[in-house]
A and B are shown apart, each in its own frame.
Chain A
Amino acid sequence: EVQLVQSGGGLVQTGGSLRLSCAASGFTFRGYGMSWVRQAPGKAPEWVAIISGSGRSTYYADSVKGRFVISRDNVKNTLYLQLNTLRVDDTAVYYCAKDTSPTGADDDPVWDSWGQGTLVAVSS
């Protein structure tokens, strides 16, 4: 059974940093592209970042480019999101999500498994 278990998150002040983790099990982690998707209260989900199975390619939403870094450790089967220079409008529940395709590609992402979500709250 695929499992994505998230940790990290919490309350931080504007300008601060956090690291989110997503521990994966039940599938060949290195074979799948992974994404982070966030959802502000009462809003639609927003794709944040994607990383290929190998970790060699990454892409970001413009709203986080230059501030957030997606990475993965294919030995520890863990996905990460480093959040830097946080702003109030980064407040959201952050989800990690696994792509359906076992090609490890970073395009055409379709997410069939999701983490439980972790709240990041940024205060001024």
Chain B
Amino acid sequence: DIQMTQSPSSLSASVGDRVSITCRASERIGKYLNWYQQKPGKPPRLLIYAASSLQGRVPSRFRGSGSGTDFTLTISSLQPDDFATYYCHQSHTLPYNFGPGTKVDI
């Protein structure tokens, strides 16, 4: 199985900060990497697919990059609505594992 790791596991930031979250796959997965945002009591929300493609109606302050084994989600200017947990997810190989998550709070 492909294992996904994320760093940091949590971070504290302020409105307006630039935030970066790293995701690493245990094997090369090309660009089959997706990012989801989740708030308490809600299902995950797709932000980025295929490593760098922005899902419709997702603000442009979210940016994904990377390929192979190393990927990054960057929020250019953190907004109050962005405080949430972020998960990477590989869609390259069964089983389609998620990373452990990064919680972004104040």
Shortest CB–CB separation between residue B47 and chain A, in angstroms? 11
Chain A contact residue count (CB 8 A cutoff): 23
User: How many interface residues does chain B have, given as a range?
Assistant: 20 to 34
Instruction: Decide: A46 near B98, CB < 8 A? Known: A108-B91, A110-B34, A110-B91.
Output: yes
Please, which residues of chain A bring their CB within 8 A of the CB of B49? 100, 110
Q: Which of B35-90 contact A (CB under 8 A)?
A: 36, 38, 43-46, 49-50, 55, 87, 89
A47 near B55: Cβ-Cβ < 8 Å: no
B98 near A110: Cβ-Cβ < 8 Å: no
**What CA separation (Å) do A117 and B43 show in the bound complex?**
7
Question: Residue A1 at the B interface, CB < 8 A?
Answer: no
A108 near B32: Cβ-Cβ < 8 Å: yes
Q: Would you give the 0/1 interface string for A77-117, flagging 1 where the beta carbon is closer than 8 Å to chain B? A: 00000000000000000010100100000011111101111
25 cross-chain CB contacts under 8 A: A37-B44, A44-B98, A45-B38, A45-B44, A45-B89, A45-B98, A46-B98, A47-B95, A50-B96, A62-B95, A95-B44, A100-B46, A108-B32, A108-B92, A109-B91, A109-B96, A110-B46, A110-B50, A110-B91, A111-B36, A111-B44, A112-B55, A114-B43, A114-B44, A117-B43
